[in-house]
Amino acid sequence: MAAPDRQRSATADGPQQSAVTLIGSVQRAMRLLESVAGHEHGAPAKQLARETGLALPTAYHLLRTLVHEGYLRRDKGLFFLGEAAERLSSSGAQEKRRSTIVDALAQWRDLIGAPVYYAMYRDGEIEVLCVSDAPGNPAVEEWADFRETGHAHAIGQCLLAQLDEDVRRDHLDRYPVRSLTPYTVRDSHSLVRRLDRMRRTELVVERQEYALGTVCAAIPITLGTTAATMAISLPSHQADRLPAAARQLQTGVDRLLGSLALSISI
């Protein structure tokens, strides 16, 4: 009698019919992974088989497969999560951190009425990691590589001001100062003097040094040895709005700095 009941439940409608396509070995392997994840200090195969309700031979076979694929590792008879499983976890965490930054930038963009940028100095380079703009408030066009022109825009100046002397000198040796507009700083000596006068927590303002018709302000975010910044840009005819808009962004950044600390390396 049991077999006909199973057949009816499997063919009665679409969703139940699709259930028969589930692969039991995958389900059992996932239960083992979940069980291992619950044991920070590892667990033996017998305990894992008991917790997942699997026969010991089946558990052994799946555990060996998971170890071979890198999702688990075995040490002195105990099973732990392996590098492959940890990569899956870190990818999910990284996406969550990225989402936190993207949502924050969109919120500030709408509140301030200006494009908002998030950038870091990482591995010797200026990296603009996220930009949030809108059709009515477009971001600055990257007409000259942001990485190579850090001396000319607020984002780059803000990051360079946070670096120690040797790292900054190395950067400027690789990307020498050059004029982009009539307002760009003229030489590296003048730039370094300007950067040295800045406090690491000071707002950085740049007026048409990177692009004519654009003014920008950048907020430094320094966490340990990480140099990061959030910035806004406005058309130059709205330059009088820049100080208040920058203060508004800085207030928001200060308020969310705790969560930003977790999201800083998206």
Structure confidence at residue 6 (pLDDT): 37
What is the average per-residue pLDDT within 121-149?
A: 94
Q: Return the closest-CA partner of residue 170 out of 128, 222, 121, 127.
A: 121
**Mean pLDDT, the chain, integer:** 85
- Among the CATH numbers 3.40.190.10, 1.10.10.10, 1.20.1440.20, 3.30.1490.480, which is that of 2-81? 1.10.10.10
pLDDT at 253 over 90: no
Structure confidence at residue 186 (pLDDT): 94
Q: What is the pLDDT of residues 32-80, one digit of tens each?
A: 998 998 898 899 999 999 999 999 999 999 999 999 989 999 999 999 9
d(CA 28, CA 52): 8
Q: Concatenated DSSP letters for the chain? A: -HHHHHHHHHHSSHHHHHHTT--HHHHHHHHHHHHHHT-TT-B-HHHHHHHHT--HHHHHHHHHHHHHTTSEEEETTEEEE-HHHHHHHHHHHHHHHHHHHHHHHHHHHHHHTS-EEEEEEETTEEEEEEEE-BTTBPPPP--S-GGG-TTTSHHHHHHHHHS-HHHHHHHHHHS----SSTTS--SHHHHHHHHHHS-TT--EEEESSSSTTEEEEEEEEEETTEEEEEEEEEEGGGGGGHHHHHHHHHHHHHHTHHHHHHHTT-
Structure confidence at residue 90 (pLDDT): 58
Range from 82-86, 155-159, 161-165 that averages highest in pLDDT: 155-159
Percent of the chain at pLDDT exceeding 70:
81
pLDDT band at 9 (very low <50, low <70, confident <90, very high): very low
- In CATH terms, the fold of domain 91-263 is Beta-Lactamase (3.30.450)
pLDDT at 14 over 50: no
Domains of the chain, residue spans:
2-81, 91-263
pLDDT band at 194 (very low <50, low <70, confident <90, very high): very high
Higher pLDDT, 101 or 97: 101
